Structure 1
């Protein structure tokens, strides 16, 4: 369903920034040594200021999806993000994989994350991005309980916002779909994410792309969406500790410059894009 974008705009663009800091290493990889924690420190103390300066240079406002643990650990960075006019979305408590949690634990960690959001941001979030880019059987119920308006974790479209549907799996007779969930989905893509393409984690991730290859792929996808997906949304995902490296941020700046040179591209936080949903 196309978005009702501002007059003269054909494609919404989100430079979505996942500010994980220590949380990704603790929650996703169970890495607790000084070496990995220092990478989280780089994320917060080097990557975030670089991105804030870059976004300010081009007048970009976006959404920083941030775990509660990151807010509690690096509150000064949260203050800086807010001072620059960006949205802060929910991103779990400690970058946990919610598909591995019981329904009760998933609800408990959401409650704890929202409490930290209220403390450090001053209000509840309206948008969620699952750290695992996946849902459990309980996630939608948890999101509705806590009054979330939009999600950005699923992949049922590439450049169009939509209402996800639950799938009833039947291996012998074919799957059926339930009624659409009443939450707006802004789809993500592993092909529009810097971390798996560029990072190095011994024995786990050996980034297969260099930044020029990756930005070329991003530019191709942006060009396609701009030409063919009127009323759509282009959702990029970057991480301050990854894209904020010197050899990456130079290329990222060129991509931002390219996107904002298109008069009919509307770069905005996802909360603002959500408000254009055709209710």
Structure 2
């Protein structure tokens, strides 16, 4: 496809968008651009103080649209349920859900409030539950879409259904990769089930390549002076600006010719940076048997059932 920029985003006036993790990085850029093009945006954030600061930044650029902050901790299924219940009380519909939030940790294994491994519980299960609980609002939306944020790291990852929580052998990098593979599997399986149900909602996917807000450099920065040096060198040699990294998910969310199941990322070498193009998920991510298994396990773990066959 030809070079596509934020100026190519179609008019979003009248649309309501929920963006998780919208207080910084890719999420903030995405929310800002959607608001600049007319959408009312809801920043679903864990830290509402940071969310208020982000909202002020967005309002300065898009003073005529609605910008609101709602507390959401994807590492807590109770928080996901409370967020969705409030949304159901306050909103008539949702037109766009961007499952953008994600985390990566370096160091010892950690768990969510529900006892899930932190990457898998936050990056995948939280978004799985959120999407299911918001689906009735989405189905009342105008040309509604769900965008799931993947990562190039999903291509080297594997879902071990005998040890999804990495309780037997802990590896932080592999746990993160598995969670992003789960995001990718989910986006593809969600598309399949939405089609089968005849739903008006479409599911799309995107990944940012390696952007300046990439979580891995930020994780290294937490390791002191040496970590900051590594992060700075990595950013200088391998990353692209956050504004460029957000374009694939903005394309997936807004471009008029997008179809359910499509996956977008950078066109450059190893999909690390460059113009937006359609990319391909790994063979494991596209395996229907993996999609079905992950869906069933996710329903069991979250107690959120939807689009069952």
Scaled to the shorter chain, the TM-score interval is: 0.3 to 0.5
TM-score normalized by structure 2? 0.31
TM-score normalized by structure 1? 0.34
More helix by share: 2
